[in-house]
Structure 1
């Protein structure tokens, strides 16, 4: 099993040890300890004169992260520099912030934790489950503290968390008593003028406001226009400093979309005739009154009111969650659930992929994945075939557990039916439909100006874009490169449900869905949009550009055949795809990029060759991997190590990749020579982590040659360095390597201890590959030591894990071991 050491240690290195990143980006927090965290440590620890001034050392390291990495040409400032923080006790530091008012003693979980309303009809995310949305909360609080409009309108796609955000605002506005107006589909009368007045009266119970409401109640039922004056009086009365008046309130009118009518032309939705006077009266009253009370509305769609009243509401779009927010929500949900066994990482990633950033859908899928994994697998299969969008079907339930799972599946189906995707698509005019289809070429939000290039007319693009946003098929967000620039993208769920992939001539006549962009459209969009987009995102200077933007540019460049853009962005794109575990896509893009540059007669950067080779290696394209890696090493060696600007770190990384390939090709002697060169370079650079990684590879070769003592010494040095650096992946891999040697020596107790330590770390990290590989050896040892139940449980977990990974040879090996033990 010498390959096992290489495989496990290689995965540890690939997941976070590579220092040759093309630049700094918004890297997921999961990898912070391996990349930007290591860069922070490099700046923090080599400064002994600062050791007695801890604050100075931290400031020095943080400042370094705000600048491009001098060791990585072309890199930009860190996107996560602010995550390095120093906490000081009472004897150090100073005041970070101050104020002249007493701090609130309200508990952190105080307020509307599960329901927005007192009647408990509007369930929302609990305080523990609610994550993100900081900018939206700040924008609403800023408007409420210094009003410029009559109120705030939160709008966004179904399930995006509008009601939960309203609950968080109600929780934060401690001085305002929340009054919630809400009605089911068959109870829209709750939105009538008399019902709103009654809700306000019932909240105050007695006093001047109650008397005023009682006096006007009967007339309100026949003349809703009177609500303006009555509500204005109530609003201004609630501001009086009097014991008879309880104080101001927050009026929340939730799910306005229940009152809306589809637009007859290219405009927005309109309010149903039975409710338009009431809603106008509410907006007018808050607009005209001098009051401390506030108005907050939620709606899936933007809408119009007579006399421009809707413009007196501040629209606040609630976009889909970003990937890091999805991870936060999953972690928060895991902590709140009673079950001790969360979904495995593979299922969790597929849940997040399917949810497309929609909080409610992710919550439903996560709960299903935790409580009924088989039902979740069925649901994901249905979503993949868009059956849920059509209503789907239910699986018969034979047991209470199956019945519970089926009920959760019904909730998923009801959620999709409630999105009414077909009705939205059928509202689109041809120009809007064409723009929606063209915008689906992009995988990330792009500046709104880009769509003007696609339509050829700024006015057409603006009107069509506003309509798509109003219908929530588009989302308006900040540009990922320049936050001051408005950007737009197709909503994630709309992308999944409103589009259909089709073969030529296979489209059914009654299919309402929009065909996915084909190769011809993708090429046309890329050729039109790429020049202005590349310029807007920094051009050849990508230091301020996140890697995800490089990925989008590289994909468009490959489609448009633009060698210059591909050369400037492909390496960073492959880096980002690796961090997102999108290995197949990375390998495909890597081959396309190298081929395009070769065909255009453009020099291929060695960093791109190495990254492309590594991605091809991961997906089994050995021929391409071998070719690219060999070319990368040859380019470095032909450049000459003594040249100015020679990338020693990139050369070392290429040597390691090529050496690992040679090991698999059966040439350990040549591999050992390359590993030794790489080790010397890392030692010269002071890179302890990469040197330790390389030691692990050298130890594997020494062991395969029978040089067990030398291999053990190298692995122990590897383990010591990884432990000092806090590299858990590396500690697990080094412990595993030591255990392999100890098993050859029949030192069973030491092997069991090291395997147990490695297994525990892999379980903590959720590393399925490591769990399975280490368990393959730990299970039999535990069985032989009389711990058969524990050993068989570990072997079973390894077998099931290998099945998920598709490693059939390892599955058979585990089954043979289990059969022998039984």
Structure 2
């Protein structure tokens, strides 16, 4: 298909408005047709984009049944923000003459069987427009980008299109895969990505038209080294991209394999002026634009630096989807397709992926100045250099080479490669349990370093192998490499030592990798040394004297030292542990019987059999016959096979009593542990932590326990099959499992006293729970539940408390129920909380537990207060306060004072509220209660905010938020963000308000805070209302009302009914508005909510005013004004005075109107409120009506009163 070019640009409109833009179509650099359009960056657009980002980065849900499937489809049908956005953008931009011209262009190429290549350009004066996801443009029929006859790319302003010379030699590609071992960064399936890329370019590789290099690590220095040594045409980065302080960064690695964040400016300098033609950034958010600086993202920066094609992701992308994208994109490139057409094919695949989310087809963004920059049609094969290197590694190895499906062991590969490349290590012993993948690791290293080594030789070793056998094998290998020196003397009658010395001399000259596999068969009965003396001497001579170039690897089930302590720094010892679950999951994906299982089923298999590669493979074979579920029910045949294969019984029988005891006792631990934990578990009252060095070394040597490096310390872990074996033997050997579990729990409790680590404390709880020591388990839960709530681990806290409730009795159980009720209260489920508290109050009364009674009365008071039952709340608080004073519980007294303050605030008694809050803060400060201080500072800020004293409000919120951040209290942080949003809203800064509300809402959703969610949804509705988006406002209010109704939150219901009334008022539906206002007013009177009553009376006055019922309007306004003056609500007073002025003006009472307008304006000006502009317009209108002379005279009169 032939494609015609169409150049499209967007710039700022000549009109003096920040919301007006001009779209133009250009030909030969000249504007052919234009269209001015308006696009406001309001809350509606902001939420539309947030919804797109939320859906595009979300894994698709898999319905469990037909009903769920129908509901999911219905929800998807209703909620399509990407379509809504695409249609909105298209209708605004492609309207008028420009739309007509565009449609004619599309129609013309269609009739001729051709296509249209659209290049989008954005002026540097419209960064907010360039940051939009234009890839979602939708013409009411389909997304433009999904049509085969339309290709869309971007190009920064000022960058000219290119027509580079076609490539005629080998295409060179550098792949950077960054997967740091860092808890801050989520893991990526980097190994699979590597295989996919190789498979995608396989066709070009077969014809030697492409050369692909993979960096062995993703350190900045290593990548820079590759670029300095070789010119590359394609750079592919796989990893993470993040934004820090509004600036883009890619996540590279440092020497310790932790994350290193490289900023976009540094990266654009790194890749520019090197002849690179295509950069692909397969990373999250690597193409995301910044509204503050046009083209501040890496993709456009690289395009500006002269790279003709850059593909990057404008949203986070799921790892599986990114892999599929890479495969289909490079396959299309390899087939000779232009870059934009190759991207089109990859997009269509992403759209139709079964595990896709239906939105990610628009995630890749293409910046393009030459679509044929990497066209492969004219490529010639790379000329061969004279070298005796095989085309296939397996030709030289008598060992299996895994070309596909290799997973994990990245760390071990890195250690081996670094040791060999640096010449620090001359040999390595890879040891571990049978079936752990030692041979695979060795041959994988050979494959990975085949460009470094001149060749690799691998041989399996048996118990009968002699030095002569190894020498002959190496000689045959040397002859294949064109070296015949050894062959000339190998059959001569010369001492064997002479032959060995000659071999060493040759090996020191050439870079070979020699692998001696299955070497355990050559060890003695104790697995400590080589059994055959001649073989031992031969290996020792090789290792002692081959000091450079050639390297050796020995794979063995049992670790040993071939040099018996000499040159320990020259021999590496690599212990292979089990695979962790993410790597095991990748392994399962390579096995037909397991690949299609859900993640939970795979996790279940992993929990039962662990991450032992051979076992996973055997499980898959058995599952092919019996089925996965049936096999899980009866694993005995598989376990028997495994024990036989790994020689587990035999290995155990060879251990001395000390090693056996350590193996059995250590099987209690579920996780990898430090040596101190091993020492503790075999201890007793007489000797708490005996030395374990000798038995531990024996277990390591026999491969029954693995050693891993976890940051700066060594940790040890029994393989799952060994653990299972040991646990069965445990009690048979007279060891008490329950005592060991309790001892493990106490180890972690001791550890917590040093580290203060919450998760270590919860490990102690788990071991107590497994031991059936419910009381001790609950003690840990009671000590940690508040921390869990503060850190946002609500579900975990509830699960632990429910466990305590189900396993304990008496006061312990009641205390757990009390804590569970607190969580339900925090989540806004007042009804459930009320039910639990009412039940446990009677239990505490029966026990005579005064503390429990006082605390429960207090909590019941809070619920009644939140439901608007202030009278009942005060009664309960006073009862609680009396008991706490008797008991001397100062902390509880401080919190009760806070609640009294809150009731005064809700009833509009702000001065009294501030007094109570101040008293509460004073007591909490004396007690050092930072959490309580933060809580009350926040509420004091609310009082100032209501009174319009924003400076004091912000001061208190800042102090509260600082304390909450120190404490890690997410709930407190979310509330503070909400209040900051409220202040911005009241000052008319709606965009900033919406940002704060969105941050608060996100945190509240993570916490499951229903009540908080309802409040923030309500405020977002108010912003929509202010911006005239009434339909969106009603959506928000109705969502908020639904939650408030579910929670029995009378206050929330009343407030939202009021706002819904306001929407109907603005729409002129006065009957409906009056009905809603009166419903709200009734509830507010029942609750004694003076502030709410005043607001609703004001609104009812406005309805009477609009209907011409001025007398009734003034009556309502005066009632409202009186209450606001009592409450010292400055902003409310100003609003009602303004409306009284409007009524005065309409009645012809110009002097009264002027008085009310002037007072209103003065108050709004003091508050720095945007409402002063509204009053200013009313004054101008009144001035026009009165005439300038009369207006000025009356103004002077009022001023001089």
Q: TM-score per shorter chain, which class?
A: 0.5 to 0.7
> What do residues 283-308 of structure 1 show as CA deviations (whole Å, max 9, x unaligned)?
43243234311111111111244643
What is aligned with 1:195? 469
Q: Are 1:388 and 2:588 an aligned pair?
A: no
* Pairing of 1:145-184 with structure 2 (within 5 A): 145-173=421-449, 174-183=451-460
Q: Structure 1 residue 681: deviation in Å?
A: 3.9
Q: Structure 1 residue 251: deviation in Å?
A: 0.6
Q: Are 1:680 and 2:934 an aligned pair?
A: no
Report the Cα distance in structure 1 between the residues aligned to 2:1042 and 2:453, rounded to whole angstroms.
67
> What do residues 703-733 of structure 1 show as CA deviations (whole Å, max 9, x unaligned)?
9xxxxxx9xxxxxxxxxxxxxxxxxxxxxxx
Classify the secondary structure of the residue corresponding to 2:707: strand
What is aligned with 2:302? 92
What is aligned with 1:59? 244
Does the Cα contact within 8 Å between 1:477 and 1:487 map onto a contact in 2? yes
Farther-moved stretch of structure 1 (589-598 vs 517-526): 589-598
Does the Cα contact within 8 Å between 2:821 and 2:836 map onto a contact in 1? no
Report the Cα distance in structure 1 between the residues aligned to 2:614 and 2:705, rounded to whole angstroms.
18
Does the Cα contact within 8 Å between 2:511 and 2:550 map onto a contact in 1? yes
Q: 2:665 aligns with which of 438, 441, 444?
A: 438
Report the Cα distance in structure 2 between the residues aligned to 1:692 and 1:65, rounded to whole angstroms.
38
Classify the secondary structure of the residue corresponding to 1:250: strand
What is aligned with 2:742? 523
| Structure-2 change in CA distance of 1:623 and 1:135 (3 Å) | farther
| Structure-2 change in CA distance of 1:284 and 1:697 (3 Å) | farther
| Structure-2 change in CA distance of 1:114 and 1:517 (3 Å) | farther
Does the Cα contact within 8 Å between 1:150 and 1:283 map onto a contact in 2? no
Report the Cα distance in structure 2 between the residues aligned to 1:685 and 1:132, rounded to whole angstroms.
49
Report the Cα distance in structure 1 between the residues aligned to 2:840 and 2:391, rounded to whole angstroms.
58
Report the Cα distance in structure 2 between the residues aligned to 1:575 and 1:8, rounded to whole angstroms.
34
Q: Structure 1 residue 233: deviation in Å?
A: 1.8
Does the Cα contact within 8 Å between 1:633 and 1:651 map onto a contact in 2? no
Q: 1:552 aligns with which of 763, 774, 788?
A: 763
What is aligned with 1:739? none
| Structure-2 change in CA distance of 1:375 and 1:441 (3 Å) | same
What is aligned with 1:488? 716
Q: Structure 1 residue 255: deviation in Å?
A: 1.6
Question: Larger % of strand: which?
Answer: 2
| Structure-2 change in CA distance of 1:387 and 1:89 (3 Å) | same
| Structure-2 change in CA distance of 1:250 and 1:225 (3 Å) | same
| Structure-2 change in CA distance of 1:29 and 1:573 (3 Å) | farther
Q: Are 1:533 and 2:728 an aligned pair?
A: no
Q: 2:517 aligns with which of 254, 258, 261?
A: 254
Q: Are 1:322 and 2:580 an aligned pair?
A: yes
Q: Which has the higher contact order (CA 8 A, sep 6+)?
A: 1
Report the Cα distance in structure 2 between the residues aligned to 1:682 and 1:594, rounded to whole angstroms.
39
Report the Cα distance in structure 2 between the residues aligned to 1:303 and 1:146, rounded to whole angstroms.
24
Report the Cα distance in structure 2 between the residues aligned to 1:215 and 1:65, rounded to whole angstroms.
57
Does the Cα contact within 8 Å between 1:473 and 1:491 map onto a contact in 2? yes
| Structure-2 change in CA distance of 1:388 and 1:463 (3 Å) | same
Q: Structure 1 residue 170: deviation in Å?
A: 0.6
Q: Are 1:233 and 2:505 an aligned pair?
A: yes
Does the Cα contact within 8 Å between 1:554 and 1:569 map onto a contact in 2? no
| Structure-2 change in CA distance of 1:623 and 1:680 (3 Å) | closer
| Structure-2 change in CA distance of 1:387 and 1:494 (3 Å) | same
Q: Structure 1 residue 515: deviation in Å?
A: 7.6
Report the Cα distance in structure 2 between the residues aligned to 1:115 and 1:497, rounded to whole angstroms.
41
| Structure-2 change in CA distance of 1:368 and 1:119 (3 Å) | farther
Report the Cα distance in structure 2 between the residues aligned to 1:351 and 1:562, rounded to whole angstroms.
28
What is aligned with 1:472? 703
Q: Are 1:271 and 2:530 an aligned pair?
A: yes
Does the Cα contact within 8 Å between 1:303 and 1:310 map onto a contact in 2? no
What is aligned with 2:674? 447
Q: Structure 1 residue 219: deviation in Å?
A: 5.9
* Pairing of 1:324-403 with structure 2 (within 5 A): 324-331=582-589, 333=590, 342-366=596-620, 369=623, 372=624, 374-383=626-635, 386-390=636-640
* Pairing of 1:608-623 with structure 2 (within 5 A): none
| Structure-2 change in CA distance of 1:63 and 1:565 (3 Å) | farther
Q: Structure 1 residue 494: deviation in Å?
A: 0.8
| Structure-2 change in CA distance of 1:530 and 1:354 (3 Å) | closer
Classify the secondary structure of the residue corresponding to 1:443: coil
Does the Cα contact within 8 Å between 1:440 and 1:490 map onto a contact in 2? yes
* Pairing of 1:196-235 with structure 2 (within 5 A): 196-205=470-479, 209-217=483-491, 228-235=500-507
Does the Cα contact within 8 Å between 1:232 and 1:285 map onto a contact in 2? yes
| Structure-2 change in CA distance of 1:650 and 1:387 (3 Å) | farther
Does the Cα contact within 8 Å between 1:440 and 1:516 map onto a contact in 2? no
Report the Cα distance in structure 2 between the residues aligned to 1:171 and 1:520, rounded to whole angstroms.
50
Root mean square deviation, CA, Å = 6.0
Report the Cα distance in structure 2 between the residues aligned to 1:607 and 1:484, rounded to whole angstroms.
42
| Structure-2 change in CA distance of 1:651 and 1:146 (3 Å) | closer
Classify the secondary structure of the residue corresponding to 1:202: helix
| Structure-2 change in CA distance of 1:675 and 1:351 (3 Å) | closer
What is aligned with 2:953? none
> What do residues 294-329 of structure 1 show as CA deviations (whole Å, max 9, x unaligned)?
111111111244643694521111211112222233
Report the Cα distance in structure 1 between the residues aligned to 2:764 and 2:467, rounded to whole angstroms.
53
Q: Structure 1 residue 431: deviation in Å?
A: 1.9
Give me the TM-score of the superposition, normalised by structure 1.
0.53
| Structure-2 change in CA distance of 1:698 and 1:158 (3 Å) | farther
Report the Cα distance in structure 1 between the residues aligned to 2:792 and 2:393, rounded to whole angstroms.
40
Give me the TM-score of the superposition, normalised by structure 2.
0.38
In structure 2, list runs of 5 or more residues that go unmatched: 1-63, 76-181, 190-239, 252-257, 263-282, 288-297, 306-381, 384-388, 829-834, 842-854, 864-876, 878-894, 903-931, 936-963, 975-1007, 1024-1033, 1047-1052, 1054-1201
Q: Structure 1 residue 452: deviation in Å?
A: 3.1
Q: Structure 1 residue 586: deviation in Å?
A: 6.2
Q: Are 1:123 and 2:364 an aligned pair?
A: no
Q: Structure 1 residue 259: deviation in Å?
A: 1.6
Does the Cα contact within 8 Å between 1:649 and 1:681 map onto a contact in 2? no
Does the Cα contact within 8 Å between 2:513 and 2:551 map onto a contact in 1? yes
Does the Cα contact within 8 Å between 1:557 and 1:566 map onto a contact in 2? no
In structure 1, list runs of 5 or more residues that go unmatched: 13-23, 32-54, 67-77, 96-104, 107-111, 240-246, 391-412, 508-513, 615-621, 654-673, 704-709, 711-822
Report the Cα distance in structure 2 between the residues aligned to 1:341 and 1:278, rounded to whole angstroms.
44
Report the Cα distance in structure 1 between the residues aligned to 2:622 and 2:455, rounded to whole angstroms.
33
How many aligned positions are there?
A: 542
Q: 2:552 aligns with which of 276, 283, 295?
A: 295
What is aligned with 1:740? none
Q: Structure 1 residue 473: deviation in Å?
A: 1.7
What is aligned with 1:422? 649
Q: Structure 1 residue 7: deviation in Å?
A: 14
Does the Cα contact within 8 Å between 2:241 and 2:248 map onto a contact in 1? no
Report the Cα distance in structure 1 between the residues aligned to 2:505 and 2:417, rounded to whole angstroms.
24
